[in-house]
Amino acid sequence: MPALATEVTPEIMAKYEVVIGLEVHVQLATRTKIFCACPTSFGAPPNTNVCPVCLGLPGALPVLNRHAVELAVMTGLALNCNIPPSSVFARKNYFYPDLPKGYQISQYDKPIAEHGFVDIVVNGVPKRIGVTRAHMEDDAGKSIHEGFKDSDRFTYVDLNRTGTPLVEIVSEPDMRSADEAYEFLTELKQTLQFCAVSTCDMEKGHLRCDANVSVRLKGAPEFGTKAEVKNVNSFRFVKMAIEYEVQRQIAVVESGGKVVQESRLFDPGSGETVSMRSKEHAHDYRYFPEPDLLPLQISDAWRTSIQATMPELPQSRRKRFVDAYGLREYDAQTLTSTRDLSDYFERAAKASGDARSAANWVMGDLAGALKADNKEITESPVSSEQLGELLAFVAKGEISNKLAKDVFEKMFTTGDSAGAIIEREGLKQISDTSALDKIIDEVITANPKQVEQYKSGKTQVVGFLVGQIMKASKGQANPALVSQMLKDRLG
Ligand SMILES: [Zn+2]
């Protein structure tokens, strides 16, 4: 934490309450833009995915993208929002070099979704964070300030992003710590990714976050003056930015100053926020209803049909994994971090008949092997059904857990099934007592000292003898059976 004018001790911190609200811009996963048929694909050469509509040329008329509306409705439903039957697009007027229309088409007093919530858990304590609204809007282009040989003198503009569909999600000022904000964002991102309304890929700017932060003395009736930290591009940075802002604002108040309402930028290098522009005179965007678009009507039937296509959301899935499969809370959390991972686990659990073992393998051996190969779960050379088959062999006692690890490694490199590898390499567990008798005889003869120790009461030596038998059987003996037979033999 960088030095501040006034030192903010924990005692001083404890006098204050932190108030945080978040505004999150999410790019909807449509193939084309919100008001024209230009592609939304990332990385195209500058100014190639454009047309008269998204360039804002005179006379061009917007045509609303139905898929974008469906994804926005789904976003609202996933955040437990009310979807009013009618919402209205509005012009938000401002000038910016990467905004050729001179206005953004957004929604103002009648958004597509409102009055929702997101449930989070921080340090074991559940909390409900209100969602004020989610509204649709088009994105602006990009000003590029670096990367060209004359970037010291010129700014370049790429309008490919202009007209990309966004939803802006506005939370209530319900969060009281940076940790709560971090959890809210994490839950929000997972939920939206499960619904596939957005990739939420922060590196590509598909999810961008502004944080409104203020402090007040505990018990004070009114909110303090807020500063807005703009466009933070990772959740970790959001947390750091909020932590810095809280200290900075308390230091200002403690030293007799006043917090100024302003926009600030977070600098990950220094861990500080710096003033961007004063907001003392709030922008007047002169909102008015967009004359080129009719009010957007969402019928009950349409809303219901969108709802019917939604998957089970992460929160409900986590609960079900705990209740139905007996998983630990933490494991359920890990296994629902993405929809692909939770689908994989659930298929493997069903195929294996042993959900807890499937959970351990997915989070352990499989995760390790994927990481070593730099692969995603969707690229796993071992399918969920194949992993389930392997674990079923273990559950039925046909191979030991230790051998299963060897078989798994072979499955991962060859893509062959567990059954094929076990068959080919003759790895089936030996549960045939006459075959085991022979090996036990050999081990008893070879280790008279340990046998003597056992008979004199040092029964823990049985572990050593079982180990020798396992070794002699190349790991194929059934260890539980061996242990029992050995004890019977040694009396
Ligand atoms: Zn276009």
| Per-residue confidence band for 491, with pLDDT thresholds at 50, 70 and 90 | confident
Average pLDDT, the chain: 92
Ligand 1 centre distance from Cα of residue 63 (Å): 10
Q: Is the pLDDT of residue 470 over 90?
A: no
Extract the tokens encoding 194: 């499960």
Residue 199 CA, ligand 1 centroid: distance in Å: 21
Ligand 1 center to residue 49 CA distance, Å? Answer: 7
pLDDT number for residue 278: 65
Tell me: the pLDDT tens digits for 237-271? 999 999 999 999 999 999 999 999 999 999 999 99
Cα of 59 vs centre of ligand 1, distance in Å, is 14
Ligand 1 centroid vs 52 CA: distance in angstroms? 6
Q: Which is it for the CA torsion 115, 89, 206, 264, positive or negative?
A: negative
CB burial readout 261-278, b (16+ within 10 A) else e? bbbbebeeeeebbeeeee
**Adjacent-strand bridge partners of 119:** 128
Question: What is the model's pLDDT at position 5?
Answer: 55
Tokens of 260: 């100024």
Place of tokens 């088959």: 389
Q: Tell how far the Cα of 180 is from the centroid of ligand 1, in angstroms.
A: 39
Residue 56 Cα to ligand 1 middle (Å): 9
CA 99 to ligand 1 center in whole angstroms: 13
Q: What angle do CA 97, 103, 108 make, to 5 degrees?
A: 140
Residue 452, SS3? helix
How far apart CA 232 and CA 211 sit, in angstroms, is 8
Ligand 1 center–CA 87 separation, angstroms: 23
* pLDDT at residue 432 in the model: 76
| Contact (Cβ atoms closer than 8 angstroms) between residue 13 and residue 235 | no
The letter for the amino acid at 169 is I
Query: Position 329: which residue type?
Result: E
Query: How long a stretch of residues is the chain?
Result: 491
**Ligand 1: distance of its center to the CA of 90 in Å?**
19
Q: Is the pLDDT of residue 1 over 80?
A: no
**Amino acid letter, 28:** L
Query: Given a cut of 80, is residue 6 above it in pLDDT?
Result: no
How far, in Å, from the CA of 112 to the mean position of ligand 1?
23
**How far apart are the CA of 140 and the centre of ligand 1, in A?**
12
Closest C-alpha among 281, 263, 200 to residue 227: 263
| Cα–Cα distance measured from residue 243 to residue 237, given in angstroms and rounded to the nearest whole number | 10
Give tens-digit pLDDT for 137-168. 999 999 999 889 999 999 999 999 999 999 99
Residue 106 CA to ligand 1 center (angstroms) comes to 17
- Please give the distance, rounded to the nearest whole angstrom, from the Cα atom of residue 62 to the centre of ligand 1: 9
CA of 89 to the centre of ligand 1 (A): 18
**pLDDT value at 189 more than 70:** yes
What whole-number percentage of the chain has pLDDT above 90?
76
33 Cα: distance to centroid of ligand 1 (angstroms): 7
Cα(154) to ligand 1 centroid in Å equals 25
Mean pLDDT of 130-138: 98
How far is the centre of ligand 1, averaged over its atoms, from the C-alpha of 293 (Å)? 16
160 Cα–ligand 1 center, Å: 8
Q: What is the pLDDT of residues 293-335, one digit of tens each?
A: 999 999 999 999 999 999 999 999 999 999 999 999 999 999 9
Residue 193 has pLDDT above 80, yes or no: yes
Taking the centre of ligand 1 as the mean of its atom positions, its distance from the CA of residue 67, in whole angstroms, is: 16
Please report where in the chains the tokens 């393998």 appear, as a residue. 361
**Cα of 104 from ligand 1 centre, angstroms:** 14
Span 428-454, pLDDT tens digits? 777 778 888 888 989 999 999 999 998
Give the residue with greater pLDDT, 231 vs 88.
88
Return the H-helix or E-strand segment holding 86.
strand 86-87
Largest CA distance in the chain: 100
Q: What distance in angstroms lies between residue 50's CA and the mean position of ligand 1's atoms?
A: 4
What's this model's pTM, rounded to 2 decimal places? 0.84
CA of 306 relative to ligand 1 center, distance in Å: 26
The rounded Å distance from CA 322 to ligand 1 centre is: 47
CA–CA gap between residue 485 and residue 294 (Å, rounded): 82
Q: Give the residue among 296, 69, 23 at the shortest CA–CA distance from 168.
A: 23
Q: Name the residue with higher pLDDT: 274 or 283.
A: 274
Q: What is the pLDDT of residues 81-126, one digit of tens each?
A: 999 999 999 999 999 899 999 999 999 999 999 999 999 999 989 9
Q: What's the CA-to-centroid distance between 283 and ligand 1, angstroms? A: 28
Distance 60 CA to ligand 1 centre (A): 10
Å from CA of 38 to ligand 1 middle? 4
- Residue with token string 């296509």: 309
User: In terms of DSSP H, where are the helices of 99-221?
Assistant: 178-194
CA of 55 to the centre of ligand 1 (A): 7
Q: How far is the CA of 161 from the centre of ligand 1 (A)?
A: 9
Q: How far is the CA of 100 from the centre of ligand 1 (A)?
A: 12
